[in-house]
Structure 1
């Protein structure tokens, strides 16, 4: 991690350009279910909160009200960046946050704007995050994996960190 960046800044740097996060929550019968959602906002902030807009017409908000334990995963295979975030989700009616986060892309789903009665704001308060960031080029990765296969030692590729938030 860069010495001049906080864990929140480093996490945001890794996920900000990834279009969708997969939000996984628990169904009442215990099974896990994931939804692709667009992360809203321009920074993670010091409190470590991710924001998503969801439709009241779906079960997502109701399920999160019942059990807010979630995981949000992000991946960018082209950059070899993988992030897994654990947190507590709450459905918020914070109109200031809805107005601050609302954007032209959200209008496609919620034509009534931030006051659209179908719009629910989900806040994921991050408790833990883990990431893998492979900086080596593909040829270097292949060389290191081949060398590891010959030597019997695990290849050392990129950066793997856990972040308690």
Structure 2
């Protein structure tokens, strides 16, 4: 099922499956004047949270303030899926989560392993998410573009947009 159909049918499920298909996205703190940064995410759907492993000396961690709102954006062109998730971002070194998410890839970034003094975690408590899904059908794409070009009042209907609140 493509993202267009999945988001139309069940946006929450489409979001969960969409995030499973992408390795990373861009995370940024609203109002910090810092650029968004690429981060690998770990989803905790029962708690409506995303987790990230990072270093305490990053601009992202330094820009945090109490109640900081952040955005995490992902794009999956192959599946026609885009999402922007928002919520409150907090530094939270949860040792149980760290054990769950630790991997050889994470170990490559932290030479002191799970005890590296610079290692920390960020927790994004989700408030809302915007999802976009586009059709993967080339016939529909061609038809919609043709229809739009034949009428000054038409625009192509090639996608769906939904907003979720957590």
Identify whether the pair has TM-score above 0.5, normalized to the shorter chain. yes
Indicate whether 1:55 and 2:55 are aligned.
Answer: yes
More helix by share: 2
**Matched position secondary structure for 2:45:** coil
Deviates more, 1:46-55 or 1:142-151: 142-151
**Matched position secondary structure for 2:38:** strand
Q: Unaligned 5+ residue runs, structure 2?
A: 1-6
* 4+ aligned runs moved over 3 Å, structure 1: none
**Matched position secondary structure for 1:155:** coil
Q: Unaligned 5+ residue runs, structure 1?
A: none
Across the two proteins, how many residue pairs are aligned to each other? 159
Q: TM-score of the superposition, structure 1-length normalised?
A: 0.84
Matched with 1:109 is 109
Distance 1:74 1:37 in 2: 10
Indicate whether 1:162 and 2:163 are aligned.
Answer: yes
Q: TM-score of the superposition, structure 2-length normalised?
A: 0.84
CA RMSD across the alignment: 2.1
Per-residue deviation, residues 6-43 of structure 1 (Å, max 9, x unmatched): 72x43120111212210021465xx2521000113xx4
1:64-75 equivalences in 2 (<5 Å): 64-65=64-65, 68-75=68-75
